[in-house]
Amino acid sequence: MKILIAPDSFKESLSALEVAQHIAAGVRRVFPEAVIQQVPLSDGGEGLTESLTAAMGGVLERHQVTGPRGEKVSAVYGLVGNHTAIIEMAQASGLELVPRDQRDPMTATTFGTGELVRVALDKGCRTIIIGIGGSATNDGGAGLAQALGAKLLTSTGQEIGRGGGGLLQLDHIDISQLDPRLAETTVRVACDVTNPLYGPNGAAHIYGPQKGADPVMVETLDRALQHWAEVIYRDLGLEVAHIPGAGAAGGLGAGLVAFAGGKLQPGLELVMDALDMEAILSSGLDLIITGEGSINGQSLFGKVPVGLARRAKQHGVPVVVIVGSIGPGSEVVYEEGIDALVSIAPGPITLEESLSRAGPLIAEAAHTTLRLFRIGRQSLE
C-alpha cells in the first residue's frame, strides 16, 4: 500500500501537519506496513508557512519585525535549503495581532512584512513564497515598499505617514534605493481573491469594515488607494489597479507587484506546484487521504480537498476526505474527483468537543476508513 496523506488544517484546532500525523496514526492501525507520504497542504492562508516548510524539508525561524500598529512582533518564517523563503504576511501584519477595539486600517502598516522579505534576502533566498491572507492593513503595500527601500515622499520631501491614510499625503515615489536584490528574486504570491485595488469591489469597500473601518473611513481609504495607483502608474509606469488580486490584503497584492515583481497565483495551485504535486500523484499511489475542517457547497472554490482531488482524478487515484463537518450542498464535491467524505463525529457532538478532541477523532475516522478500504481491496482479489 502506498498512501498520500495531504490535508489542510482544521481551523481553531489542529495544523495541517498535526492533522496529517493523526491520519497516519489511524492508517497504521490497519496497514502497519504501508508506505505513507505526509504532505501537509495550505490554500495560501493561515498555516502556509508551517505546512509548506515541513513538506519541503525546511526549518522554521523567528525574527522581530514591526507589527501593524508599529509595535515589535515575533514573526515565524520558513527557510528551505539556502534559496527559498516561505512567508505569511499575517505573521507580521495580521488582523489577529490587533485587539478588536484597536483595529484601524488608516494607520495599520505592512512595514513588518517588508522587513520579513528583507530578512529572506539577507539569508540568501532568491525565491520567496508569500501568503497574503488575514491582513490588518489597507495601505496598498506602502509599508512593505518603505521597508524595502522605496521612498514615498510628500510634496515637501518628507516620508508619508504609515497606514492607508498616509497614502493621501503621497506626492511622488523614489525607488533609487529600492533593494537591488529584488531584481534577481522570484516572488510568488499566494492570493485567493480577485478584487481590484479600489472601487466598489476593491480592498477598502470589501475588506475595510472587518479591519475596523467605518463608512467614512472606507471612502477615505478607497480614495487613498486610487491615488496610490495613479502615482505608481505615473512614477513607475505600472498599471496595478485592476490586476485580479491587486486588492488582496488591503492592496498588498498591488504593492508586491509594483515593488517586488510579485506574481499573484491562486494559493493552493502555488503550493502544489512548489511541492511538485504532479510527480507525487504519478508515483503509483493506491489512495489519497486529505482533510478539512468543513465541507459544503462552497468548497469548490479554492479549498484544498477539491483542488487536490481535481489533480488526482487525472491520475486515477481515489480520494477520501476526513472532515470536521459535512455541510449543505457538499455532494457537489463528488463531481470533482472526491470519492468519499468521512466525518470525524462519532455521533451527536458539540462543536467545542469536536475541536478539543479533534486529534483522536481524526485518527479514529482514518482507522475506520482504512478498514472499509481493506474490505474493498479484498473483494477485488
DSSP per residue over 292-336, as a string? EEEE-TTTTTT-HHHHHHHHHHTTT--EEEEEEEE-TTGGGGGGG
- Secondary structure of residue 16 in the 3-state scheme: helix
Lowest average pLDDT, out of 26-30, 82-86, 283-287, 296-300, goes to 296-300
What is the rounded average pLDDT of the residues 206-222?
96
Question: What are the b/e assignments for 180-215, b being 16+ CB within 10 Å?
Answer: ebbeebebbbbbbbebbbbbeebbbbbbbeebbbee
**For the chain, what is the mean pLDDT?**
93
**For the chain, what are the domain ranges?**
2-41+275-380, 48-268
Is it the case that residue 124 has pLDDT exceeding 90? yes
Instruction: Give the CATH H-level superfamily of domain 48-268.
Output: Glycerate kinase, domain 2 (3.90.1510.10)
**Given pLDDT bands bounded at 50, 70 and 90, which one contains residue 199?**
very high
From residue 74, give the alpha-carbon distance in Å to each of 66, 274, 363: 9, 26, 33
pLDDT confidence of residue 298:
67
Lowest average pLDDT, out of 39-53, 150-164, 221-235, 320-334, goes to 39-53
Is it the case that residue 201 has pLDDT exceeding 70? yes
What percentage of the chain exceeds 70 in pLDDT?
98
pLDDT confidence of residue 114:
98
pLDDT confidence of residue 355:
78
pLDDT confidence of residue 354:
77
Alpha-carbon distance of 148 to 179, in angstroms, equals 6
pLDDT confidence of residue 23:
97
Is it the case that residue 51 has pLDDT exceeding 70? yes
pLDDT confidence of residue 179:
98
- Secondary structure of residue 188 in the 3-state scheme: strand
Is it the case that residue 303 has pLDDT exceeding 90? no
Instruction: Give the CATH H-level superfamily of domain 2-41+275-380.
Output: Glycerate kinase; domain 1 (3.40.50.10350)
Who has greater pLDDT, 269 or 152?
A: 152
The pair phi, psi for residue 210, each rounded to 5°, is -70, -15
Taking the C-alpha atoms of 228, 232, 238 and 244 in order, what is their torsion angle to the nearest 10 degrees?
Answer: -20
CB 202 within 8 A of CB 208: no
**Given pLDDT bands bounded at 50, 70 and 90, which one contains residue 60?**
very high
What are the residue ranges of helices labelled H in 168-291? Answer: 203-207, 215-236, 248-260, 267-274, 277-281
CB 73 within 8 A of CB 112: yes
Is it the case that residue 157 has pLDDT exceeding 80? yes
**Given pLDDT bands bounded at 50, 70 and 90, which one contains residue 123?**
very high
pLDDT confidence of residue 296:
81
pLDDT confidence of residue 377:
75
Q: Which helix (H) or strand (E) holds 143?
A: helix 142-147
Alpha-carbon distance of 314 to 91, in angstroms, equals 36
pLDDT confidence of residue 311:
95
